[in-house]
Amino acid sequence: MAYQTLLTEISAGILTITINRPDKLNALNQQVLEELNLVLDEIYQDPVIKGTILTGSGPKAFVAGADISGFLSASSSEGSVLAKKGQDIFFRIENCPKPFVAAVNGFALGGGCELAMSCHYRIASENAKFGQPEVNLGLIPGYGGTQRLTQLVGKGRAMELMLTADMIDAAQALNMGLVNHVVPAEELIGFTRKSMEKILSKSPVAIEKVIAAVNANFDHTKNGYEEEVRLFGDCFGTEDMKEGVTAFLEKRKAIFSGK
């Protein structure tokens, strides 16, 4: 499918999505959100797509936030609708049964930081910058940032970042666990692909269940330990589990079917 604001490219089962509004630092307007929702339909439904890398166009920005230009005319209820819409899309990324990794190539501010945080993990270029500067605008994060930043870096650091609107660099983000790796800009996509290739060599059935079990920790309607027991049990009897264990016993590399 062709998109106006997203570039998509698939190779060896890895879909790379590039948010493509470089003149606006890839800010998330309504069209970007709608197209992200559409590409998520593809990711969920298309068996050819095994994993996704999300990045931004140009050397400067991953995503510099929600598009501020439409904010002045919005009412309180429209603001809530916008937040709910963004949250629902970001939940689909977070709960995607296939791995979803952010390659953060520059500014990841406001909704951009929130988008990166909805991915399963983040790899940043050395020039990446992160922040939740909404209080500068008389706003708060609305796409899950108050929750996910707190989960990722702890309450004190999350509070400070959101209350001061301070921007942090990639090294600081690495230090507080907001990103997993920092690499030179020209190596960002290659490094992220390698990380994804490693995941795709494992059992897709098990990968899906790891994502679900970890996410259960942050879902107040679930008991994460009970979910782990259930998902662990579900692995037994799958072709992937039989193949993985048999391959180990036969001292060979497993070839997983994803069933």
Contact residues: ligand COA, CB under 6 A: 24-25, 27, 64-69, 107, 109-111, 133-134, 137, 139
Reported as half-sphere exposure (CB side, CA atoms, 13 A), residue 89 has a value of: 23
Q: Which residues pair with 103 in a beta bridge?
A: 123
Which secondary-structure segment (H or E) carries 42? helix 30-45
Given 114, 126, 160, 226, the catalytic residue: 114
From the CB of 141, what's the least distance to ligand COA, in Å?
8
The distance of closest approach from Cβ of residue 165 to ligand COA in the complex, given in angstroms and rounded to an integer, is 8
Least Cβ distance, residue 134 to ligand COA (angstroms):
5
Judged by CB, which is closer to ligand COA: 107, or 256? 107
Nearer to ligand COA, 28 or 96 (CB): 28
Phi–psi pair at 252, nearest 5 degrees: -135, 170
Nearer to ligand COA, 66 or 153 (CB): 66
CB closer to ligand COA, 29 vs 215? 29
Half-sphere exposure of residue 234, counting CA atoms within 13 Å on the CB side? 15
Provide the CA 147 distance to its chain's centre, in angstroms: 14
* Catalytic residue status for 250: no
For tokens 């500014």, the residue is: 107
**Of 134, 187, 227, 243, which is the active-site residue?**
134
In one-letter notation, the amino acid at residue 47 is: P
CB 106 within 8 A of CB 125: yes
Own/partner pairs, 251-257, CB within 8 angstroms, 24+ separation: 254/203, 256/202, 256/203, 256/204, 256/205
Indicate if 114 belongs to the active site: yes
> Residue 160 CB, nearest distance to ligand COA (Å)?
17
**Could you give the residue numbers annotated as active site?**
114, 134
